[in-house]
Structure 1
């Protein structure tokens, strides 16, 4: 018999994770109970074959409890799970620290905090994990295997790093989307039809990211390989890299996101 999982909240992120768990075979529908007050979201989850309930009152047990709800409602929802003393708890809520859970669930509770990002919805997310000292190695491996169905998984050994994680991968997709917007606009200004400019921008960003990930080469070396001396790419990069302006701008953006993450976590 596999481990029993309770998924608390089945909105976009929760549903995306649930689909990955079932489709990958990491879990079978009988292993999962979904707690979701919204009738339409419950119905959507039921189509995957899992058991759904409106609240946690009828649930007798669970080895793993995954909270996929908004941070502002966490304080109201978590207390209902205090009775699951032997369970491991996972949170995918931004800005909600492990201490929030141990204060409610007790100091001996096993808590894992995960920062996903929106590409997890299509199985290409970045899932960053921190576990407190009460989490058993076997359960941590199980959780990492579940999260891997939504994308890449990596561990950090200090929860303080979560603010930096939020600023880079948590918020990062929005930075890339904005770059696509800018590259599309620039293409239009250069004379391309709007749809062609958008296709070129999206495919170029996607293809370059795939090449950077799959080639095994450092991004800087890949940049050099595509940059002929005195060529078109060199002309463009001279604008991006003049006095490290792009590097400084990105640094300022990440620093601002990290600062805001720290503020929201207080």
Structure 2
């Protein structure tokens, strides 16, 4: 694939996307990365063979990217986005994976004529198992949406929504969700240690259990509730544990509060 891509931000998510694109056959010579930090920029250029510059001012004269991808932290957007307004219009589409920053925000900084897709991805994109949810503004043509879909699909599943207001909930569930799963693994390992297991063994058991269960969920057509039920024997050890986890003030109540807190913070980041 030879369409010209401009990736702004080469951090964890930016690098995950870049790696997915290269693996999918995108031409490294057609990709330019803007990365502020010199060491990160050096590593990206060496690993992926793409052009890396330190700022928008250093971009090649006459560059006309088909897609500009913003993969910088929300707090850095105000200092980043306006520099790319000159690319708005024509066939260029802007794709943002920053939490909290709305389509209206990008229209205000890039101009009302900009084609904009707002997406929320997550860190399993680094191993090709992420999921992204995207929505587009009215200026975005179907071929531009298709282009963004292909870029996001390089690192996992893609879903589209029409109601941008749902993005805060999406952020709270799938954007932040990997951290919840990692915390579960941490807590399970610590509980094993307190039950008498050696730390190395307990961590190994927790890691393998969470990873293996996730793979079962990925492959199964059955709902998570059904998979859970398949593990339970009446009156057995799993049933005893789930009485605690599913009881009053249990996991569901905590998870609901956590998602509400994350969604609230996403709205705050929107300003």
Q: TM-score range by the shorter chain?
A: over 0.9
Relative to structure 1, the CA distance from residue 110 to residue 189 in structure 2 (aligned partners, 3 Å threshold; closer, same or farther) is: same
Superposed, 1:15-94 pairs within 5 Å as: 15-25=15-25, 27-47=26-46, 48-57=48-57, 58-59=59-60, 60=62, 61-84=64-87, 85-86=89-90, 87-94=92-99
- Any idea what SS the aligned residue of 2:246 has? helix
Superposed, 1:109-124 pairs within 5 Å as: 109-124=114-129
Any unmatched runs of 5+ in structure 2? Answer: none
Which of 171, 176, 185 pairs up with 2:176? 171
> Normalising to structure 1: TM-score of the pair?
0.94
Alignment check: 8 A CA contact 2:5 2:66 kept? yes
- Any idea what SS the aligned residue of 2:20 has? helix
What is the CA-CA distance between 1:96 and the residue it aligns to? 1.0
Runs (4 or more) in structure 1 with deviation over 4 Å come to none
Partners of 2:238 and 2:10 in 1: CA distance: 45
- CA RMSD across the alignment: 1.6
Deviates more, 1:238-247 or 1:63-72: 238-247
- Any idea what SS the aligned residue of 2:250 has? helix
Deviates more, 1:74-83 or 1:225-234: 74-83
Q: Tell me the equivalent position of 2:237.
A: 232
What is the CA-CA distance between 1:244 and the residue it aligns to? 6.8
Q: Tell me the equivalent position of 2:260.
A: 255
Partners of 1:55 and 1:244 in 2: CA distance: 49
Number of residue pairs the alignment of both structures matches: 265
What is the CA-CA distance between 1:198 and the residue it aligns to? 0.6
CA-to-aligned-CA distance 1:117-162 (integer Å, 9 cap, x gap): 2222222222121111211112211211111222222112111111
Deviates more, 1:143-152 or 1:163-172: 143-152
> Normalising to structure 2: TM-score of the pair?
0.92
Partners of 1:243 and 1:97 in 2: CA distance: 37
